[in-house]
A and B are shown apart, each in its own frame.
Chain A
């Protein structure tokens, strides 16, 4: 033990110990020289013999370093300094290699983070035993209160079954005024399942669930702190949720926000009238596996109950299969994702990093080879192969560690952006939102080590091969050709992979970030509607029924907005748009499903969509049994090429379970309108049909054409109207259609940044690879270039010979890559590149070519500076 402590201390005394050793060796040489003098040797000879017997001061020091316990560690400190110095000395190589690895590490870390989510437990006592019970998401079927009640009564292997749903409420408190609040309506059993006692007061009780019971609310710690100023007497206070008075009965401790990310809990009413099969409020169900019970056993038990219920209600429960999954899988919607998919994606991400690291290794190899003189000197001074390999490894580690740090930063920023942009903060369980989990630090460290092995050790081993002198001689002569071939091949492969993959990346990013082109004056049209603050359907607990009353409400809003002086027309689209096949009179059916939209009669006039042929709807069309329909340009061109759409008949086929389902009534095309939106990239859009419906319960979204005063005043007026007519729990949503289709600029920037980073790192890596390769080739061919120049080769010929070589590599790479891109496109069913293979390939190939040729300029200039006499004298 004391030995180890001393060794550890000595690790930090290394320089002092080295100085002492030097002094000791000096004293040794003095004593030996004296002895030799006494033996009659002349002074110079006496000193030389003493040195010879000792074997050289540097060599002894090197031997001491290697013999030291933990010497690897101690050696590393010096190497780290050396490594950092080397990285600073070749900034381009460091930047290019570092950036490439950072992007790859960021990607792998992202995938790893997802994996930690997949395996994360609920942060409560025995959290690994908390499971969710639900129907596999074959459709939108979720469990209902009925299922919950049934499971609660029948299941024995699951304890403390609880149900909740998330609702949004208007919170009014006497202290803080009002504001929206996300509330978990949860059965009282939920607090028992999670086994976290409240900080103040009491949790929900079974008696709170009863219909007619005094409504109560439990507060989250943060909400108590921010909205109630941590009032110690908050228990017993009244707050109003959507106008209903609730009594605060408890405050939960800090860090408790279950089931997902909640700060308010009210009792979920399980009144008998709400409990009926399939209908009734949809809920999330969770429970605790009984001690020693596996999830599979609980699932089997639930399945047997499922069989019973299927026999009772065959038509309702036909396609429902119950599953017991780790809580987190259900929370993240991963019920159907098996673990191997997660592991496979992890492997894939790791492979990407290895591919990048191999690339960087090529660069390092070029430099290592160019540093062979330095390596030879160190070897002659007594450094072992291990020592040199260690040094190069540490050098690479310094780079990969920096890359890992940057990669982690990228991953962290991306994580925040993604959760923020995708509005996931309400959906992802709160304990996953803290940022990257601490394990990712370790993971990124491991990745950095692996990358350093690939980048540092492999080139070092090759460059310091057993027969170093021989290798050096080989490298100096033309026989470096063998290595040259390997390199050429690597560069070709790299260019090929870049060309094959980049178009897809560019294509996807392009496709995703570019907003569609609107073919009507979208900035003059305001889209608006009244939205309930809750995402879930109301269940009758004091809120207006969405169907009838909501329709009437929307209708009133529409009428009132129509009367505004700033508005010269209103219309609406219906909620019941459908995703259908089209069947035509000759019996043919469209190959793919498209949208059928029920809209208001004035829809096209209000939006200002140009009419291409026929007529718009009129009042008579919007009555029961109408047959009039209009279609867009894409519909007309797709199904009636040649322009004969007017007067033709079609009907809509709604698919059901196994295939084509029921057909609707026949429609007759009375008009063809311009496409409303087109893809910005290929100008295409989907065929769509429209038929008129009367204003009524189906209203989905309202639209008003504005008289050119800008949306602000109309939105303000609409808000006033909404405040007048809408009950609590509803708010006005309004946006000019141009804004709606403009896409989210933050999302745009984020994606653009991500795609640019990836593209840039690939390009830089390729360019750097070619440049390093060419530099090496030029340094190898000094003699050849010298002789050719001496024999009268012109500068032009020298340039042509260097560029010819890189040109050949680029060319082969580009051709292979183009074939690869075409293959990728074919394999993806031409969906990845959307039929844009040609232009995208040209674009990427041009950039690669440019990067490659630019990278050749430096080495070419060096070749031109070769003086024949000097080059020949060196040999």
Chain B
């Protein structure tokens, strides 16, 4: 099994927003698990960095959290995307796609640019 890659700086927020957009309300642990699954276990998410990021997104108004009961019957905080979060997701996705496109041009073979 290849070694897991760290999450690239600045992309964790995008992954969280995307995950919540796809799956609806989810607790922090669920988000972490989902990101790992989506990356086919290629990404090693440091759970310790996830929560500060979640709280920051909540503070910025992109997601909102509410306490509920998790699958093991414990109290857990469930996050969902807000309208501002959706807008932010669209914007971040566009930025990301643009960045990828630019990078793609750099790795295209000579003469095809």
Chain A residues packing against B (C-beta within 8 Å): 2-3, 6-7, 10, 17, 20-21, 23-25, 27-28, 30-32, 34, 53-56, 59-60, 63-64, 67-69
Residues of B within 8 A of A54 (CB): 47-48
Closest 5 A/B residue pairs (Cβ)? A55-B48, A64-B52, A31-B29, A27-B76, A60-B48
Residues of B within 8 A of A60 (CB): 48, 51-52
Selected from B28, B48, B53, the residue in CB contact (under 8 A) with A59 is B48
Q: Shortest Cβ distance from A267 into chain B, in angstroms?
A: 71
Judging by beta carbons under 8 Å apart, are A21 and B51 in contact? Answer: yes
Selected from B52, B60, B61, B74, the residue in CB contact (under 8 A) with A27 is B74
Residues of B within 8 A of A7 (CB): 59
Judging by beta carbons under 8 Å apart, are A27 and B59 in contact? Answer: no
Judging by beta carbons under 8 Å apart, are A27 and B48 in contact? Answer: no
* B94 touches A (CB below 8 Å): no
Q: How far is the CA of A56 from the CA of B46 in the complex (A)?
A: 11
Selected from A23, A28, A64, A68, the residue in CB contact (under 8 A) with B29 is A28
* B56 touches A (CB below 8 Å): yes
Identify which of B55, B56, B71 gathers the most chain A CB atoms within 10 Å of its CB: B55
Interface code B39-71, partner A: CB below 8 Å = 1, 0 otherwise?
000000011110111011001110000000011
Q: Shortest Cβ distance from A57 into chain B, in angstroms?
A: 9
Question: What residue in chain B is nearest A32 (Cβ atoms)?
Answer: B29
Judging by beta carbons under 8 Å apart, are A63 and B48 in contact? Answer: yes
Residues of B within 8 A of A23 (CB): 75, 77
When A and B form their complex, what is the total count of cross-chain residue pairs whose Cβ atoms lie within 8 Å?
A: 73
Judging by beta carbons under 8 Å apart, are B56 and A67 in contact? Answer: yes
The answer to whether residues A27 and B70 also contact, given A10-B59, A63-B52 and a CB cut-off of 8 A, is: yes
Judging by beta carbons under 8 Å apart, are A20 and B51 in contact? Answer: no
* B27 touches A (CB below 8 Å): yes
Residues of B within 8 A of A2 (CB): 61
Selected from B28, B51, B59, B72, the residue in CB contact (under 8 A) with A69 is B59
Judging by beta carbons under 8 Å apart, are A53 and B70 in contact? Answer: no
Residues of A within 8 A of B55 (CB): 17, 21, 64, 68
The answer to whether residues A30 and B56 also contact, given A53-B47, A63-B49 and a CB cut-off of 8 A, is: no
Residues of A within 8 A of B47 (CB): 28, 32, 53-55
Q: Which interface class (under 10, 10 to 19, 20 to 34, 35 or more) fits B?
A: 20 to 34
Chain B residues numbered 9-29 whose CB sits less than 8 Å from any CB in chain A: 27-29
Judging by beta carbons under 8 Å apart, are B48 and A67 in contact? Answer: no
Q: Shortest Cβ distance from B100 into chain A, in angstroms?
A: 26
Q: Shortest Cβ distance from A750 into chain B, in angstroms?
A: 55
Residues of A within 8 A of B72 (CB): 30-31, 34
Q: Shortest Cβ distance from B58 into chain A, in angstroms?
A: 9
Q: Shortest Cβ distance from B73 into chain A, in angstroms?
A: 9
Residues of A within 8 A of B27 (CB): 24, 27-28, 31
Q: Shortest Cβ distance from A386 into chain B, in angstroms?
A: 16
Judging by beta carbons under 8 Å apart, are A27 and B29 in contact? Answer: yes
Question: What residue in chain A is nearest B55 (Cβ atoms)?
Answer: A64
Identify which of A2, A3, A31 gathers the most chain B CB atoms within 10 Å of its CB: A31
Residues of B within 8 A of A32 (CB): 29, 47
Q: How far is the CA of A54 from the CA of B51 in the complex (A)?
A: 10
How would you classify the secondary structure of chain B's contact residues: helix, strand, loop or mixed? helix
Judging by beta carbons under 8 Å apart, are B52 and A3 in contact? Answer: no
Question: What residue in chain A is nearest B62 (Cβ atoms)?
Answer: A3
Question: What residue in chain B is nearest A2 (Cβ atoms)?
Answer: B61
User: Can you report 7 residue pairs joining A to B where beta carbons are below 8 Å apart?
Assistant: A2-B61, A21-B55, A23-B75, A24-B27, A31-B70, A67-B52, A69-B59
Residues of B within 8 A of A25 (CB): 51
Residues of A within 8 A of B32 (CB): 28
Q: How far is the CA of A63 from the CA of B75 in the complex (A)?
A: 23
Identify which of A27, A30, A54, A55 gathers the most chain B CB atoms within 10 Å of its CB: A27
Residues of A within 8 A of B46 (CB): 55
Identify which of B48, B55, B60, B61 gathers the most chain A CB atoms within 10 Å of its CB: B48
Residues of B within 8 A of A17 (CB): 55
Judging by beta carbons under 8 Å apart, are A56 and B48 in contact? Answer: yes
Q: Shortest Cβ distance from A251 into chain B, in angstroms?
A: 60
Q: How far is the CA of A60 from the CA of B51 in the complex (A)?
A: 8
Residues of A within 8 A of B70 (CB): 27, 30-31
Judging by beta carbons under 8 Å apart, are A68 and B75 in contact? Answer: no
Told that A3-B59, A25-B51, A63-B49 touch, could you supply 16 new A-B pairs with CB distance under 8 A?
A6-B61, A23-B75, A24-B28, A24-B76, A27-B28, A27-B74, A28-B27, A28-B28, A28-B47, A30-B70, A30-B74, A31-B71, A56-B48, A67-B53, A68-B56, A69-B59
Residues of A within 8 A of B49 (CB): 63
Judging by beta carbons under 8 Å apart, are A31 and B74 in contact? Answer: yes
Q: Shortest Cβ distance from A34 into chain B, in angstroms?
A: 5
Q: How far is the CA of A63 from the CA of B51 in the complex (A)?
A: 9
Q: How far is the CA of A7 from the CA of B77 in the complex (A)?
A: 20
Q: How far is the CA of A832 from the CA of B49 in the complex (A)?
A: 67
Chain B residues numbered 56-110 whose CB sits less than 8 Å from any CB in chain A: 56, 59-61, 70-72, 74-77
Q: How far is the CA of A818 from the CA of B49 in the complex (A)?
A: 61
Residues of A within 8 A of B75 (CB): 23, 27
Selected from A3, A20, A34, A69, the residue in CB contact (under 8 A) with B77 is A20
Q: Shortest Cβ distance from B29 into chain A, in angstroms?
A: 4
Q: How far is the CA of A141 from the CA of B27 in the complex (A)?
A: 88
Q: How far is the CA of A407 from the CA of B56 in the complex (A)?
A: 42
Q: How far is the CA of A54 from the CA of B71 in the complex (A)?
A: 20
Selected from A6, A31, A53, A69, the residue in CB contact (under 8 A) with B76 is A31
Residues of A within 8 A of B76 (CB): 24, 27, 31
Q: Shortest Cβ distance from A774 into chain B, in angstroms?
A: 44
Residues of A within 8 A of B51 (CB): 21, 24-25, 28, 60, 64
Judging by beta carbons under 8 Å apart, are B77 and A24 in contact? Answer: yes
Judging by beta carbons under 8 Å apart, are A3 and B60 in contact? Answer: yes
Q: How far is the CA of A560 from the CA of B55 in the complex (A)?
A: 95
Q: Shortest Cβ distance from B30 into chain A, in angstroms?
A: 8
Q: How far is the CA of A150 from the CA of B51 in the complex (A)?
A: 83
Question: What residue in chain B is nearest A69 (Cβ atoms)?
Answer: B59
Residues of B within 8 A of A63 (CB): 48-49, 52
Judging by beta carbons under 8 Å apart, are B77 and A27 in contact? Answer: yes
Residues of A within 8 A of B56 (CB): 67-69
Judging by beta carbons under 8 Å apart, are B48 and A6 in contact? Answer: no
Residues of B within 8 A of A20 (CB): 77
Q: Shortest Cβ distance from B68 into chain A, in angstroms?
A: 10
Q: Shortest Cβ distance from B37 into chain A, in angstroms?
A: 13
Selected from A3, A56, A68, A69, the residue in CB contact (under 8 A) with B61 is A3
Q: How far is the CA of A64 from the CA of B61 in the complex (A)?
A: 17
Question: What residue in chain B is nearest A34 (Cβ atoms)?
Answer: B72
Q: Shortest Cβ distance from A43 into chain B, in angstroms?
A: 14
Q: Shortest Cβ distance from B89 into chain A, in angstroms?
A: 16
Q: How far is the CA of A21 from the CA of B52 in the complex (A)?
A: 9
Residues of B within 8 A of A3 (CB): 59-61
Question: What residue in chain B is nearest A27 (Cβ atoms)?
Answer: B76
Question: What residue in chain B is nearest A60 (Cβ atoms)?
Answer: B48
The answer to whether residues A6 and B77 also contact, given A32-B29, A64-B51 and a CB cut-off of 8 A, is: no
Q: Shortest Cβ distance from A506 into chain B, in angstroms?
A: 59
Q: How far is the CA of A368 from the CA of B29 in the complex (A)?
A: 40
Residues of B within 8 A of A6 (CB): 59-61
Residues of A within 8 A of B52 (CB): 60, 63-64, 67
Residues of A within 8 A of B71 (CB): 31
Question: What residue in chain A is nearest B76 (Cβ atoms)?
Answer: A27
Q: How far is the CA of A10 from the CA of B52 in the complex (A)?
A: 14
Identify which of B46, B47, B56 gathers the most chain A CB atoms within 10 Å of its CB: B47
Q: How far is the CA of A523 from the CA of B27 in the complex (A)?
A: 94
Q: Shortest Cβ distance from B66 into chain A, in angstroms?
A: 11
Residues of A within 8 A of B60 (CB): 3, 6
Residues of B within 8 A of A68 (CB): 55-56, 59
Question: What residue in chain B is nearest A63 (Cβ atoms)?
Answer: B52
Q: How far is the CA of A720 from the CA of B15 in the complex (A)?
A: 101
Q: How far is the CA of A583 from the CA of B36 in the complex (A)?
A: 107
Residues of B within 8 A of A24 (CB): 27-28, 51, 76-77
Q: How far is the CA of A735 from the CA of B73 in the complex (A)?
A: 96
Q: How far is the CA of A10 from the CA of B59 in the complex (A)?
A: 8
Question: What residue in chain B is nearest A9 (Cβ atoms)?
Answer: B59
